[in-house]
Chain A
Amino acid sequence: DSGVTQTPKHLITATGQRVTLRCSPRSGDLSVYWYQQSLDQGLQFLIQYYNGEERAKGNILERFSAQQFPDLHSELNLSSLELGDSALYFCASSPTWAGTYEQYFGPGTRLTVT
C-alpha cells in the first residue's frame, strides 16, 4: 500500500460526458502528479500540482483540467469525453516539487468511454 488513494476504481461513461477523478496523496506529501496510461501510449505525464499551485504541465488536453485543494487532495476533471480517453489514470505524490524524490503511485482509476 503506497498510501496514495484514488477513487473511483472503475468508471464507465458515454462520449460527451464529464467525469471527476479524485486523489489523496500520502501523508506529508505536497506534490501530486497525474499520469495517463493508454494501450498505445504507455505512461504519460499530464500535470503536477504543488501545495495548491500548478507546477508543471505535460501533454494534457484542453478538455482536461485539474486542481489541488487546501487539504492537498487533487481532482482531475475530464470533459467532452471521447472514446480515445479510455485509459488508466494514475495519481502519484512526492514530498516536494522537484529534486531527487521517488513518486508513489495510487492504484489508478480505469476509465471506459463507450
Chain B
Amino acid sequence: DQQVKQNSPSLSVQEGRISILNCDYTNSMFDYFLWYKKYPAEGPTFLISISSIKDKNEDGRFTVFLNKSAKHLSLHIVPSQPGDSAVYFCAASGSETSGSRLTFGEGTQLTVNP
C-alpha cells in the first residue's frame, strides 16, 4: 500500500528553467509534508516543508504547494541549476498519536542540463 507516490521516476530540465516535481498521497491523516534531496552515497537532506494548514511555502528558489482536496503537492525550483541534479523525495507524517515517522515516495531523479 503505497501511501505516498511520486509518479515520475525522472525529470530533465534546462538550466535556468523551472523544475516541477509532483507527489500524491492517499492517507487523510497526513498533516505535514516535506521534500528531501539525496545525492548518491549520502543521506537525504531536508529542503522544505509545509503544514496542512497552509497551501504554499517558499524558501529562496524552492516553493512547495499543497492541494489538500486533491491530496497533491508539488515542489517548484526556479531557476534550476546543475547542482540541483539529485533524487528528490516527497515525505509525509501523520497525527501526533502515531509519532512523527515519515512515509516516503519512491523518489524522482532530477537532471538539470547546463
Residues of A within 8 A of B (CB): 2, 4, 6, 31, 33, 35, 42-45, 48, 50, 55-56, 58, 90, 92, 94, 96-108
A4-B43 in contact (CB<8A) = yes
- Minimal beta-carbon separation of B9 from chain A (angstroms): 11
Knowing A102-B46, A105-B44, the reply to whether A94 touches B101 (Cβ < 8 A) is no
Chain B 13-52, CB-CB to A under 8 Å as 1, else 0, gives 0000000000000000001101010000111111001010
Contact-size category for B: 20 to 34
B43-A97 in contact (CB<8A) = no
Knowing A42-B105, A42-B106, A42-B107, the reply to whether A101 touches B100 (Cβ < 8 A) is yes
Residue with the greatest number of chain B CB neighbours at <10 A, chosen from A31, A92, A103: A103
B44-A102 in contact (CB<8A) = no
Q: Knowing that A33-B101, A100-B51, A108-B41 are A-B contacts, what are 8 other residue pairs whose CB atoms are under 8 Å apart, sorted by A's residue number?
A: A2-B43, A2-B45, A48-B99, A92-B43, A96-B100, A97-B100, A103-B46, A105-B44
Distance A63 CA – B105 CA, assembled complex (angstroms):
26
B69 within 8 A of A: no
Chain B interface, DSSP helix/strand/loop, else mixed: mixed
Chain A residues lying within 8 Å of B91, measured Cβ to Cβ, are: 43
Chain A residues lying within 8 Å of B49, measured Cβ to Cβ, are: 100, 102
Contact partner of A103 (CB less than 8 A), chosen from B51, B97, B102, B103, is B102
B101-A90 in contact (CB<8A) = no
Chain B residues lying within 8 Å of A90, measured Cβ to Cβ, are: 43-44
- Minimal beta-carbon separation of A105 from chain B (angstroms): 4
Can you offer 5 A-B residue contacts whose CB atoms are under 8 A?
Answer: A2-B45, A4-B43, A101-B100, A103-B100, A107-B41
Residue with the greatest number of chain B CB neighbours at <10 A, chosen from A4, A96, A97, A100: A100
Distance A69 CA – B80 CA, assembled complex (angstroms):
43
Chain A residues lying within 8 Å of B41, measured Cβ to Cβ, are: 107-108
A45-B103 in contact (CB<8A) = yes
Chain A residues lying within 8 Å of B104, measured Cβ to Cβ, are: 42-44
- Minimal beta-carbon separation of A112 from chain B (angstroms): 14
